[in-house]
Amino acid sequence: MTDATANDISDRSEATRGRRDIGIKRRYAAERRFKAYGMIAIGLGIAFLFILLWSVVSKGYTAFWQTEIRVPITFSEEVIGTAEEGAANQSKLMMANYPQLARDGLIQLLEIDPENSEAVSAANGLVSQGVRMELRDMVLNDLQVIGTTEDVWLYASSDLDSALKGSYDLSVEESRRPISDLQLEFIERLEEMGALEQNFNWGLFTFGASSRAETAGVGVAIIGSAYMMLIVLALALPIGVAASIYLEEFAPKNRFTDLIEVNINNLAAVPSIVFGILGLAVFINWFGLPRSAALVGGLVLTLMTLPTIIIATRAALRAVPPSIRWAALGLGASKTQTVFQHVLPLAAPGILTGTIIGLAQALGETAPLLLIGMVAFVADYPETPLDAATALPVQIYMWANEAERAFQERTSGAIMILLGFLALMNLTAIFLRRRFERRW
Amino acid sequence: MSTSIIILIVLLVGAVGGYAAYQRGRQLRIERGMRPHSRPIYHASYVLSWAWVPSLLLLGTWLIASPILNEIQIRNAFPEDAVAEAGLTDDLAYGIVESIGVGLRSLPEDERDQIDEDTPIEDALPLFRQYGVAIASASQDWMLPLAIESNIWSTVSRWAMTIVVVLFAAGGAFYGYRNIRTRLRARNKVEKVVNVTLIVASSIAIMTTVGIVFSMLFESADFFSRVSAWEFFFGTTWEPRFSAAGSGGETGQFGLIPLLAGTLYIGAVAMAVAVPIGLFAAIYMAEYADNRTRSVAKPLLEVLAGIPTIVYGFFALVTVGPFFRDLSAQISGLLTGNYSAFIQAQSVLTAGCVMGIMLIPFVSSLSDDIITSVPRSLRDGSLGLGATRSETVKRVILPAALPGIVSALLLTASRAIGETMIVVLAAGVAANLTINPFEAMTTITVKIVQQLTGDLEFTSPQTLVAFALGITLFVITLCLNVYALYIVRKYKEQYE
Amino acid sequence: MDMSRATFEKGPAVSQDKTIKMASKDVTVHYGQKQALNGISLDIKERQVTALIGPSGCGKSTYLRCLNRMNDTIDTAKVDGKILLDGENIYDPDLDVVELRARVGMVFQKPNPFPKSIWENVAYGPKIHGLAKNKDQLEEIVHTSLKRAGLYKEVKDRLDEPGTGLSGGQQQRLCIARAIAVSPEVILMDEPCSALDPIATATVEELIDELKQNFTIVIVTHSMQQAARVSQVTAMFHLGDLAEVGATEKMFSNPDDKRTQDYITGRFG
């Protein structure tokens, strides 16, 4: 049946073509080309996305592992003093020469001649400079350890770490790579002894800024970002919702509200760096708030996020059908009661979704934070929002400027963490939308 | 008493008043046997507002005004000529007085008692230093009494503030409570307060804009008083020199042209990448794609928009830049046998391409919205005449959607011009004036970042120029945005 | 306005034993430039059903919305004239519109239950107006309101379920129950059955008939049969004018106004 009609039509078009030429063939070719352009465009867009993600992940996944070396450490009293001395004088304990302990341990482990300075320094180059802190903290935590010998997992140096992860081409001439032949030999021996292990890199999540890749982490930056997100949430959500309620439900149509309207739409498109300038001039220069503080960052991001939240909230309020408002008003609810008891709860899922998306934007924002001094070297956790802090994207920016291979790996790792947070937030938003969205 | 404790007291007073009002409201109903106009909860909120709003407003005003008044008073008390004699400016002298005040406050009580108005400043300085307050050597004997006076003033002011604010809170609560009766329209009054709060919240958007404009205007005016506007707007050399102290009047050259050229050039490359891809993607999505393709492709493209720009910057720096460089080395190797890269790792091309990728989702989602809002009837009309889909798109839909698409492109361009992190990492910092896309150029945003990170001195043109750059950027993007929004409005009206 | 004066004179003849609950004098309404009502004067008597009929766009809904100032929610609407509720002008600037609406309730064309439970739908009004002294009283109000709306039997086991899950007729009766729960003196109904099927319509009409013993009801309807079935007084609107008002029986058997005759015989509408 269908075949018959199809034939019928094609027969007729055959006949028509005989009569006048409307260029069917050429036009269909153009149609196919046009469609192909569209498919290519979408393909390109998606390809770029995957190249981008792949480039980050392929460089960054190794950052989540960190090589450690098991070294027998003798906490000798000669180097760090006796437990009694240490208890009496903390500063002596703080100043002691812990790297020497690690060096001695390595010498013993690798059976090197202590007089062979070349071999000693080669061996010493295998462990991180962070051993000073690592061993010091062990001793400070438990003075009983002094005088004993213990197997300790020490962080490997970033060169060793990178070499093991295959970031260096080890086939090139010795002088052109950061790992010497002697060190390679040591590494082999350590591996045979089972003294070399790659463990999950908790440090990446807990450490602060550091000039050494192996002891650099985003822990401090995450706290800074968390403070800022809390501030943004605490300020932008109520202010944004209040402003939207006024504009959507109460505002008379006049020039003033029109001005606010245009203003908000425009603010949403102002370059983020301009907000940084605002923060610098107003919050830091005029109000005298401290530079590098999470509070200032939070305020700047609040102003930046506000338009996003307002626009989303107004859309959510507009989606509540007017019949609900009439019903409440008809029962004698006042306008305020109507809005707060009926319209707002019904708009809540939409508002929440908009807020989360706004927060995600704020979390990834870098430029304004650079201007208010968050590009600081912050190694300690900020205790209050007024302390010097840094943020996750800013930390990424600072690491991106480091030349070392190990830092590039960490940068990619930090980006993966950032993207992980963003994905989590956006998925939450999508979930909320799917779960609670009400169709009228 | 610290401000937070004062606030706490005010909140408490309000809460107690509110509770009392609630009880009173319930009682009224029982006593009079008739329903009061408002429910107890509104009586409570009414009293709460009376207790909180005036007192907190007063607190805020006081906190802002008190230091200002103090400063004026101290400045007026500067002995005549003494400031000039010491080779100081008024600002510097006031700064020293202030830090002496800080020093005094940081001393333990018994040591502070040893210092009085007649103590020579030399005797006091070591004490301050001991408690970690370093004071400029230009300090003078007459500053100490002023600092003491200032400290006393602020202490007194603080006590007065505490008392007055708490009194205000209590008085407000009491007044509100006294007003409670059956006919009191507490609900209406509370709703007024709510309404005003809402208005204040929505004016924050205005205040932000005003803040942006004024903060940049003031600093830019300062800048233009040091460097002529002509030199800034039409200068072709950017060489600000360092703003290190002691560079002594060396101001360097602040020519905007190379930065503007770089900004526009990179933006143009980005648009050249983003517009065709984004537009075709939008057309395909709106006109051809079935629901399944749409439901996969659209969110994927939106992910591209959700990736922070710093990530794009890093991508440009470590992947795209080296890729172009190596590619150009291979090409020149094949052509000339000389494997030297003619594309620099940081170049207009790299920054532009990566920025273009970032902009694809903007173009596509904005255009998608606009294309789908073209009425169905237009589409059907064209298809009904026997036009193919692509003909319909080209002849009917795009012309109808043109204003909307133009505005989408303007918004995208404004985004490209204001983008910072990609160019900071991928475009380079050299202020070249070139037409070769394979070389590095720099942008306005890069220079703003560069001039405003590190040590700042709000008196040197090297810092202030960033504000002039900022306002230039703001004005350019503002014009683009406002024009684009205007077109969109017109366009929407047309189809509503 | 000849017509309105005529109706005023005729007023007492309709039902002398009832007192006037709401009286309107020369009510005009403008929506922006457009005049929607041209000086309507109409008395609404206590405890009976007054039906407003007329072709669409005649201003009957507009007039209804004036009676509890729902027109306030439209920015461009401007109401002139006087409407008295028990002798008190409801457009007095000193009057609290919330109190007014608590006395003059409204039921809308399309059922619009809140997307909350049935119980909460009914309890909302009493809650905001503080009508119940305690939980038990509130419970009682909810139950009696549902009973009076003839809905109780159908929903008593699922008071916690959302009101939006009910059928159209049940939803409308829920809306009526919600309005009753506030104990208004007057209930305005704006084509309450237009979104309902015939069976649901019959139930709601029965309900209206019962409610008139306790409430003053004004109903806008486009169905003349409905007006004939439920109302005691009918007012005919035409192009923003009040064409005729009188006892329903008389209106449908022997109308004075030519427009009413035409409408009732189906010449236009």
What's the number of CA atoms in the CB half-sphere (13 Å) around residue B20? 18
pLDDT at A115: 82
Query: Residue A1: inside a domain, yes or no?
Result: no
Counted across chains B and C, CB pairs separated by less than 8 A come out at: 14
Choose the final residue of a domain: B184, B215, B249: B184
State the average pLDDT over residues A405-419: 89
A87 touches chain B (CB under 8 A): no
Nearest by CB to residue C105, choosing from A324, A330, A334, is A330
- Count CB atoms within 10 A of the CB of residue A177: 17
Distance from CA of C159 to the nearest CA of A (A): 19
pLDDT at A54: 94
Contact yes or no for B478 and A274 at CB 8 A: no
pLDDT at B243: 47
Residues of chain A in contact with residue B485, where contact means CB-CB under 8 angstroms, are 262, 265-266
Nearest by CB to residue B188, choosing from C96, C130, C133, is C96
Distance from CA of C254 to the nearest CA of A (A): 36
Query: Residue C251: inside a domain, yes or no?
Result: yes
Contact yes or no for A332 and C99 at CB 8 A: yes
Given a contact cutoff of 8 angstroms between Cβ atoms, the answer to whether B166 and B58 are in contact is: no
Residues of chain B in contact with residue A271, where contact means CB-CB under 8 angstroms, are 414-415, 417-420, 445, 473-474, 477
Nearest residue on chain C to B40, judged by CA atoms?
Answer: C130
Query: Residue B157: inside a domain, yes or no?
Result: yes
Residues of chain A in contact with residue C73, where contact means CB-CB under 8 angstroms, are 325-326, 329
Contact yes or no for B37 and C128 at CB 8 A: no
Give the residue carrying structure tokens 């309730």.
C105
Residue of C94, C95, C96, C100 for testing the chain B interface, max B β-carbons within 10 Å: C96
Distance from CA of C132 to the nearest CA of B (A): 10
The domain that contains C90 carries what CATH number? 3.40.50.300
Q: Which residues span the domain enclosing C102?
A: 3-264
- Assess whether A83 and A47 both reside in one domain: no
Query: Residue C269: inside a domain, yes or no?
Result: no
The span from the CA of B181 to the CA of A270, in Å, is 51
State the average pLDDT over residues C92-96: 84
- Assess whether A49 and A93 both reside in one domain: no
- DSSP for residue B319: I
A182 pLDDT exceeds 60?
Answer: yes
Nearest by CB to residue C112, choosing from A252, A323, A332, is A323
Query: Chains touching chain C at 3 or more Cβ pairs under 8 angstroms?
Result: A, B
Distance from CA of B491 to the nearest CA of C (A): 25
Residues of chain C in contact with residue B188, where contact means CB-CB under 8 angstroms, are 96
What's the number of CA atoms in the CB half-sphere (13 Å) around residue C54? 28
pLDDT at A409: 87
Helix %, strand %, coil % for chain C, to 5? 45, 25, 30
- Strands B238-239 and B253-254 turn out to be antiparallel
Query: Residue B225: inside a domain, yes or no?
Result: no
Query: Residue B197: inside a domain, yes or no?
Result: no
Choose the final residue of a domain: B152, B184, B216: B184
Given a contact cutoff of 8 angstroms between Cβ atoms, the answer to whether A391 and A221 are in contact is: yes
Token reading at B330? 């291979």
State the average pLDDT over residues C72-76: 79
H-helix or E-strand spanning residue A173 = none
- Assess whether A131 and A261 both reside in one domain: no
Nearest residue on chain B to A376, judged by CA atoms?
Answer: B454
pLDDT category at A304 given cuts 50, 70, 90 is very high
- Count CB atoms within 10 A of the CB of residue C138: 18
pLDDT at B1: 65
Contact yes or no for C130 and B37 at CB 8 A: no
Nearest residue on chain C to B186, judged by CA atoms?
Answer: C96
Q: Phi and psi at residue A132, in whole multiples of 5°? A: -55, -50
Given a contact cutoff of 8 angstroms between Cβ atoms, the answer to whether A48 and A132 are in contact is: no
The domain that contains A260 carries what CATH number? 1.10.3720.10
- Count CB atoms within 10 A of the CB of residue B89: 10
Residues of chain C in contact with residue A332, where contact means CB-CB under 8 angstroms, are 98-103, 105, 125, 128-129, 182
What are the helix (H) ranges across B77-119?
Answer: 82-85, 90-106, 109-114
Nearest by CB to residue B474, choosing from A38, A274, A400, is A274
pLDDT at A5: 47
- Assess whether A267 and A362 both reside in one domain: yes
Contact yes or no for C73 and A438 at CB 8 A: no
The span from the CA of B410 to the CA of B416, in Å, is 10
- Assess whether A89 and A230 both reside in one domain: no
Query: Residue B116: inside a domain, yes or no?
Result: yes
ipTM for the predicted complex = 0.86
- Assess whether B271 and B418 both reside in one domain: yes
With CA atoms as reference, report the closest residue to B465 among B475, B445, B451. Answer: B451
Residue of C70, C101, C141 for testing the chain A interface, max A β-carbons within 10 Å: C101
The domain that contains B366 carries what CATH number? 1.10.3720.10
Distance from CA of B189 to the nearest CA of C (A): 12
C15 pLDDT exceeds 70?
Answer: no
SS3 B151: helix
Nearest by CB to residue C102, choosing from A326, A328, A332, is A332
For chain C, what is the mean pLDDT? 86
Given a contact cutoff of 8 angstroms between Cβ atoms, the answer to whether B139 and B100 are in contact is: yes
User: What's the predicted TM-score (pTM) here?
Assistant: 0.84
A336 touches chain C (CB under 8 A): no
Nearest by CB to residue A49, choosing from B218, B304, B415, is B304
pLDDT at B349: 93
With CA atoms as reference, report the closest residue to C27 among C247, C251, C214, C237. Answer: C237
What are the helix (H) ranges across B225-247?
Answer: 229-234
- Assess whether A73 and A48 both reside in one domain: no
- DSSP for residue A415: H
Query: Residue B198: inside a domain, yes or no?
Result: no
pLDDT at A439: 66
A2 pLDDT exceeds 60?
Answer: no
Nearest by CB to residue B39, choosing from C96, C99, C130, is C130
Contact yes or no for A327 and C125 at CB 8 A: no
State the average pLDDT over residues A220-228: 93
Choose the final residue of a domain: A215, A235, A253: A215
Q: Which residues span the domain enclosing A102?
A: 65-215
Worst-scoring range by mean pLDDT, A369-383, B303-317, C163-177? A369-383
Residue of A247, A331, A335, A341 for testing the chain C interface, max C β-carbons within 10 Å: A331
Contact yes or no for A326 and C75 at CB 8 A: no
- Assess whether B257 and B389 both reside in one domain: yes
The span from the CA of C92 to the CA of B176, in Å, is 26
- Count CB atoms within 10 A of the CB of residue C154: 16
Question: Which residues 104-163 in chain A show a CB within 8 A of chain B?
Answer: none
Q: Phi and psi at residue C105, in whole multiples of 5°? A: -85, 170
Residue of C98, C103, C129, C131 for testing the chain B interface, max B β-carbons within 10 Å: C98
- DSSP for residue A331: T
Query: Residue B207: inside a domain, yes or no?
Result: no
Q: Which residues span the domain enclosing B448?
A: 238-495
Contact yes or no for B306 and A41 at CB 8 A: no
pLDDT category at A407 given cuts 50, 70, 90 is confident
Contact yes or no for A332 and C114 at CB 8 A: no
Inter-CA distances, B296 with A43, B302, B477, Å: 12, 10, 33
Query: Chains touching chain B at 3 or more Cβ pairs under 8 angstroms?
Result: A, C
Residues 6+ apart with CB under 8 A from B45: B18, B186, B190
pLDDT at A6: 46
C6 pLDDT exceeds 80?
Answer: no
- pLDDT tens, residue by residue, A33-52: 999 999 999 999 999 999 99
pLDDT at B376: 82
pLDDT at B360: 95
**Residue B240, Cα to own-chain centre: how many angstroms?**
25
pLDDT category at A19 given cuts 50, 70, 90 is low
Query: Residue A237: inside a domain, yes or no?
Result: yes
pLDDT at C1: 35
- Assess whether B46 and B124 both reside in one domain: yes
The span from the CA of B363 to the CA of B368, in Å, is 8
Residues of chain A in contact with residue B206, where contact means CB-CB under 8 angstroms, are 259-260, 263
Residue of B35, B43, B184 for testing the chain C interface, max C β-carbons within 10 Å: B35
Distance from CA of A265 to the nearest CA of C (A): 24
Angle made by CA atoms A308, A312, A318, in degrees to the nearest 5: 145
- Count CB atoms within 10 A of the CB of residue C93: 5
Task: Fill in the amino acid letter for B202.
Answer: S
In this prediction, the residues of chain B whose per-residue pLDDT falls under 70 are 1, 241-251, 455-456, 494-496
Query: Residue B269: inside a domain, yes or no?
Result: yes
State the average pLDDT over residues C7-31: 69
Contact yes or no for B313 and A267 at CB 8 A: no
Query: Residue B189: inside a domain, yes or no?
Result: no
Distance from CA of C102 to the nearest CA of B (A): 12
pLDDT category at A401 given cuts 50, 70, 90 is confident
Domain count, chain A: 3
Nearest residue on chain B to C132, judged by CA atoms?
Answer: B35
Give the residue carrying structure tokens 């153009």.
A30
pLDDT category at C8 given cuts 50, 70, 90 is very low
Domain count, chain B: 2
Query: Residue C234: inside a domain, yes or no?
Result: yes
Query: Residue C206: inside a domain, yes or no?
Result: yes
